[in-house]
Amino acid sequence: MVGVADVKSFLGGFKAKMNIFGVLFFDARGKNTQAMLDLEITPSDREKVLKNLLPEDYVEGPKEDVVYGGSNMWVFGKVLDNKEIYIKISMGEINRRVICISFHMAEYPLEYPFKQKQL
């Protein structure tokens, strides 16, 4: 079971590595590019979203990367312009950029285990 401390640790390492090596976005996936167009955001806006991820934004992970063969993937969500965004990221390879595999509108409602419930 992943705890808040695990998510904080992952995000700390992810953001530190991103500041050093940058981020690789998988924009060849059409829905990632379409999300930027639909949200009217720039690539630098997208980077700011990643830099501002909080443990409360955690959805699931770590999940084994069986498609790309890299490091584990983590899923987060954010609301931008009243649209829920699905964000899947990974630390990538050693001494290389972090990876943002998915950054697009959520295809289903996301559940946030560490977000305070609204009563």
Kindly report, residue by residue over 19-77, the tens digit of the pLDDT. Answer: 999 999 987 778 888 888 889 998 899 999 999 999 999 999 999 877 666 789 999 99
Return the ∠ at Cα 107 (arms to 17 and 116), rounded to 5°.
65
Q: What is the pTM of this model?
A: 0.92
What's the farthest any 2 CA atoms get from each other in the chain? 44
Return phi, psi of residue 91, to 5°. Answer: -70, -15
The helix (H) or strand (E) run that includes residue 23 is strand 23-25
Domain ranges of the chain: 27-105
